Each structure stands twice: as C-alpha cells, then as structure tokens.
Amino acid sequence: MIDSISTEDAIAIQVKDLDFRWYKGSTVLESCSLDVPKGEFWMLLGTNGSGKSTLLKLLAGLLQPQSGFIKPLPMLGFVFQNPDHQLVMPTVGADVAFGLAGSGLTTVQIRQRVDEALDAVNLLPLIRRPIYALSGGQKQRVAIAGALARHCEVLLLDEPTALLDPDSQLELVAQVQRLVKERNLTALWVTHRLDELDYCDGAFLLEKGKVVDQGDPQRLRQRLMQIPM
C-alpha cells in the first residue's frame, strides 16, 4: 500500500481512458491515457487534429470529457499559443499582478511575488513596459511569470513558440526547462518542432486521440521524422 501511494504521489499529471467528442461531432480523444512525473518536462506531439490542444484544455478544466479520469491538478498555469489571448493589463507588472487579485495578499506581498516571478523569466527590468511594446517571446514570458507569481506547480503550454522567430523559440523552451528543474515544476508542452525535443525529459505521441508511443524524446524524434507534421 505504501509503494502504491508513493508512486501515485510521484505523478503530477495523470489521465486514464479519456474520451472526448464535440457535441454532434467527431471523436477527438478516445481511451487516451498518460502520466507525467512530478518535476519533469514532457512534450506532447502529433499531427494536426490528433487532439493535443483539446487534451490540454481538458487538463485545465476548460472542457469536460464524456468519460475517463483526470487526476485533480494542483495550481496550474496555462500558456496559450498566442499570448495576446491572455494578457489583459496595460503593463508587464500589472498583468502579472492581475492573477493575484483576490488572493488575500497584501500590496507588499503582491509586489514581492511580481518581482520574483519577473526576475525568474529575466523581465524584471521591463516591469513598467507596456504590453504592446513587447516582442512575442517576451509576451510568452510574461504569461509564464503570471503562473509563477501564483505559485503554480504545473505548466500547460499549447505550442507557445508557434508565433515566435527561431531564436526566440529556443530561448523560451530553454527557459521553461530551467524553471522546471530549478523550481521543481511539472510541464506539459505541445509542439510540432523536433528541435524542441532536445530540452524535454520525455514525450508522448498522439495519433487519432490516443497515445500510441511515449518515452525517450530522441527515439520519438526519429519516428516523427517519418510522419508528415
């Protein structure tokens, strides 16, 4: 019994036999199962329409499955493909602080959390900069800082580099890898980019709504090179 409990506690994200279909529409996920260990950075791969983004939205509670099990998640942060869809305040500092509204923290405590979170993503010098003046990569880091300020334990990232230039893409994925290791976070990152597999601990391959392979990122890279993405 002790072993089973400790094993369960070591899993941060757990999905079992998940089914999801749109109302009067096609099936998106069917008997989908995966486990992401605590403190690790995993990636979710697959062709367009394989169900990757839908799975992340189910994990975040933005959608509800028809059947299956999702382990209740601790505090989580969701980073969208387009950061303009989630940054709502006029300046960097105000946007990070926005997620702490209603938290019961004092003004001093909120400022401390904002400063710490922005420092973690190397944006503290830009705390007063308008959001519109940021690059795409900087906007994504503001979204991540918002999750860090709320002390999120799990990060869900839906193709966060899709709209970035090549240098910013690798900078962002390297930064998330560093944060996962330094802060003992757990991250699940949706991607189409094979070079990003160099930064993760493991990966899942989704096909037609099912996990058909998982494990070593470099082995999956070889398999993916044979699949039109």
Q: Note whether residue 46 is domain-resident.
A: yes
The answer on 141 and 54 residing in a single domain is no
Max Cα-Cα span within the chain: 55
> Domain span at residue 224?
7-74+153-229
pLDDT of 7 reads: 62
Q: Beta partners for 213?
A: 205
Q: Residue 96 in contact with residue 142, Cβ under 8 Å?
A: yes
Question: pLDDT for 28-49, tens place per residue?
Answer: 999 999 999 999 999 999 888 8
Domain membership of residue 37 (yes or no) is yes
Handedness of CA 67, 69, 75, 81 (dihedral sign): negative
Q: State whether 147 and 160 are in the same domain.
A: no
How many domains are contained in the chain? Answer: 2
State percent of the chain over pLDDT 70.
Answer: 95
Tell whether 83 is covered by a domain. Answer: no
* Residues 172 and 217 placed together within one structural domain of the fold: yes
> Domain for residue 200, yes or no?
yes
Residue 14 CA to residue 2 CA, distance in Å, equals 19
pLDDT for residue 153 is more than 60: yes
Residues 216 and 170 in one domain: yes
1 lies in some domain: no
How far from 187 is each of 28, 42, 76, 79, 111, CA to CA, in Å? 22, 6, 10, 11, 25
Position 81 in a domain: no
d(CA 15, CA 187) in angstroms, rounded, equals 15
Q: Any idea which of 21-25, 63-67, 184-188 has the lowest mean pLDDT?
A: 21-25
Please state, as a whole number, how many other Cβ atoms lie within 10 Å of the Cβ of residue 206. Answer: 24
Q: Choose one of 124, 151, 178: the last residue of a domain.
A: 151
* pLDDT tens figures, 67-94: 999 999 888 999 998 989 899 999 999 9
Same domain, 44 and 22: yes
Domain match, 205 and 109 both? no
The verdict on residue 162 lying in a domain is: yes
pTM of whole model > 0.85? yes
Domain boundary at 111, 135, 151, which? Answer: 151
Residues 94, 159, single domain; the answer is no
**What pLDDT score does 5 carry?**
43
> 226 exposed, middle or buried (CB, 10 Å; 0-12, 13-18, 19+)?
exposed
Q: Decide: 188 and 40 in contact? Cβ < 8 Å.
A: no
Question: Is 134 a member of any domain?
Answer: yes
* Shared domain check, 159 and 144: no
Q: Assess whether 65 and 171 both reside in one domain.
A: yes
Based on the domain organization, do 172 and 138 belong to the same domain? no
Question: Does the pLDDT at position 229 exceed 60?
Answer: no
223 shares its domain with 157? yes
Q: Which of 151, 183, 202 is the last residue of a domain?
A: 151
What is the identity of the amino acid at 145?
A
What are the angstrom distances between the C-alpha of 98 and each of 56, 61, 147? 23, 20, 11
The single-letter code of the amino acid at 203 is A
Residues 21 and 132 in one domain: no
CATH number for the domain spanning 57: value is 3.40.50.300
